[in-house]
């Protein structure tokens, strides 16, 4: 994890273009195509990150989380700081309304967990993602 | 020279300027011997020799041990260590123009054509809506575990052991996976198992595998046609019900099966797939894996080094699967 510069509540951030996501029954998974790390998000975390797909500020997502029932604490800011530290967000010029999934039925502290090991960056072949052995 | 082969949902025509190129392409494509019904997506592999080798491209799309691949606008540019180059064009009927240095053709050092063929096939399969899955799968009574491990991790021996116990195999390391609506489908591509010569010690009916040539310089394994020894033991398709993380444990005796935590099922399956650094391709793969794991149970299977000496070693694992 990197230490990112301090974030103002009005700074606009967006999910990096080379980070792809898919929805699971209890949240989502992000894959960073640059580092090949993937990340597990719970439902609340995913509903926040979707706001960043088209650009959003910390103030935007905190307000959204409170409308979804989040307590008035620093849990959303802490979560966004984690996502920034993983370098999944980048500065953006403008914020836009994203097409969103419905928020989770019940709010929980948003969490993001990085898998201990990234996927392999150099593979045996286009079919076999194993670590290449020496010939 | 012009010849057509089938590889799952692809019809592959090869054109080659010299016999060694044709022979290597034909040998590589000839492994995909499971018949599929159409419709088929057409792919053309057109190979010729050239005087000078190509410089390696960056590998922004995919980096393999012997090959790097760039992609732009839906077209691919691949290069290999020996200086071979492949460029694709077209989408509906993709054509790959392959150039191989004369020196490699003359010395018949054409192993890297396998990498180019693999790239052409995986790209074609994705275009046809399938995700290539480097895993094994078997089926019995509607129960279909996907057996997940890296190369040399025990997939093939486990598949052979389950076949001997009455399961039917879709394959030991090359499958295709897709979702259609809420249905998930696995399909078989070939009848060949990649078995280590030591397998003969446990399963004598496979014969002396050392008499077969090693299939690459990477491994001692041999390509073994499973349908000759176990003719009733293959299945063309199945809907997966389990994801099994297979691990070889040198300190263990026998086997041990446990529940695989729900959160581990997705990464276990994802690690069996070569994911290009391309947003569209990666997103399609993630979505397919997510839908697949939604309805399956996960198991964690540890296999001791000499476990297969006991013919009953998998009984507990099979009970877990079939319960």
Give me the DSSP letters along A41-66: EEHHHHHHHHHHTT-EEHHHHHHHHH
pLDDT tens by residue, B8-35: 999 999 999 999 999 999 999 999 999 9
Q: Out of A121-135, B17-31, B282-296, pick the least confident.
A: A121-135
Tell whether B62 is within 8 A of chain A (Cβ): yes
Residue with the two structure tokens 């509607």: B142
Q: What's the pLDDT at A104? A: 76
Please give the average per-residue pLDDT across B212-232, as a whole number.
Answer: 84
Specify the pLDDT at position A97. 66
Confidence of residue B239 (pLDDT cuts 50, 70, 90): very high
- Chosen for mutation from A23, A38, A129 (greatest number of chain B CBs closer than 10 Å) is A129
Q: What's the confidence (pLDDT) of residue A101?
A: 63
> In this complex, do A34 and B64 lie within 8 Å of one another by their Cβ atoms?
no
B273 touches chain A (CB under 8 A): yes
Q: Residues A56-72: what's their mean pLDDT?
A: 92
Compute the half-sphere exposure of residue A89: CA atoms within 13 Å on the CB side of its CA.
29
Domain locations in chain B?
A: 2-128, 132-322
Provide the CATH number for the domain formed by A12-114 in this structure. 3.90.930
**What is the band of B92 on the pLDDT scale with cuts at 50, 70, 90?**
low
- Among partner residues A33, A40, A125, which is closest to B277 by beta-carbon distance? A33
Mean pLDDT of chain B: 94
Q: Which of A25, A33, A127 sits opposite B132 (nearest CB)?
A: A127
Residue of A19, A124, A132, A133 to mutate, interface with B, max B Cβ within 10 Å = A124
Give the pLDDT of residue A3.
63
pLDDT mean across residues, chain A: 89
What average pLDDT does this structure show over B29-51? 95
If you classify domain B132-322 with CATH, what class do you get? alpha beta
Whether B218 and A124 lie within 8 Å, measured CB to CB: yes
**Contact between B278 and A23 using a beta-carbon 8 Å cutoff:** no
In total, chain A counts a number of residues equal to 135
Residue in A50, A58, A62, A54 with CA at minimum distance from that of residue A21: A50
Whether the predicted pLDDT of A1 surpasses 70: no
Helix (H, G, I), strand (E, B) or coil at B164: helix
pLDDT score, position A26: 85
The structure's pTM equals 0.93
Helices (H), A43-128: 43-52, 58-67, 75-85
Task: Report yes or no: B247 and B303 within 8 Å, Cβ to Cβ.
Answer: yes
């Amino acid at each position: 994890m990197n230490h990112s510069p301090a974030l103002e509540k009005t700074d606009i951030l967006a999910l990096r273009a080379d980070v792809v996501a898919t929805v699971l029954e209890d949240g989502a998974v992000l894959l960073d195509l640059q580092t090949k790390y993937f990340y597990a998000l719970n439902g609340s975390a995913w509903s926040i990150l979707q706001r960043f797909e088209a650009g959003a500020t910390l103030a935007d997502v905190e307000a959204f989380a409170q409308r979804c029932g989040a307590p008035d604490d620093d849990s959303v800011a802490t979560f966004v700081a984690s996502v920034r530290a993983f370098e999944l967000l980048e500065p953006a010029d403008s914020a836009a309304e994203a097409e969103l999934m419905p928020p989770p039925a019940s709010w929980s502290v948003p969490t993001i967990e990085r898998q201990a090991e990234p996927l392999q960056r150099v593979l045996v072949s286009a079919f076999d993602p194993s670590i290449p052995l020496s010939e | 020279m012009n010849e057509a082969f089938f590889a799952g949902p692809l019809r592959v025509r090869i054109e080659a300027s010299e016999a060694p190129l044709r022979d290597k392409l034909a040998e590589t494509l000839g492994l995909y011997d499971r018949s599929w019904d159409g419709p088929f997506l057409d792919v053309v592999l057109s190979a010729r020799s050239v005087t000078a080798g190509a410089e390696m491209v960056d590998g922004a799309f995919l980096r393999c041990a012997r090959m790097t691949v760039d992609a732009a606008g839906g077209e691919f540019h691949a290069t290999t260590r020996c200086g071979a180059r492949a460029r694709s064009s077209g989408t509906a009927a993709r054509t790959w123009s392959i150039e191989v240095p004369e020196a490699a053709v003359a010395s018949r050092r054409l192993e890297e054509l396998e990498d180019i063929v693999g790239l052409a096939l995986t790209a074609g399969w994705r275009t046809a809506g399938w995700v290539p899955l480097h895993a094994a799968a078997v089926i019995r009574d509607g129960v279909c575990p996907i057996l997940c491990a890296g190369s040399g991790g025990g997939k093939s021996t486990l598949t052979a052991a389950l076949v001997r116990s009455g399961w039917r195999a879709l394959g030991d390391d090359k499958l295709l996976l897709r979702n259609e609506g809420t249905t998930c489908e696995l399909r078989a591509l070939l009848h060949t198992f990649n078995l280590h010569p030591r397998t003969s010690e446990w399963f004598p009916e496979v014969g002396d595998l050392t008499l077969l040539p090693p299939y690459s310089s990477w491994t001692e394994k041999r390509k073994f046609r499973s349908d000759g020894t176990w003719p009733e033991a293959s299945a063309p398709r199945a809907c997966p019900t389990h994801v099994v993380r297979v691990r070889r444990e040198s300190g263990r005796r026998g086997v041990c099966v446990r529940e695989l935590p729900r959160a581990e099922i997705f990464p276990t399956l994802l690690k069996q797939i070569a994911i290009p650094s391309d947003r569209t391709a990666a997103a399609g793969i993630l979505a397919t894996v997510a839908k697949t794991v939604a309805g399956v149970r996960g198991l964690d299977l540890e296999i001791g080094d000499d476990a297969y000496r006991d013919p009953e070693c998998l009984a507990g694992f099979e009970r877990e699967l079939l319960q």
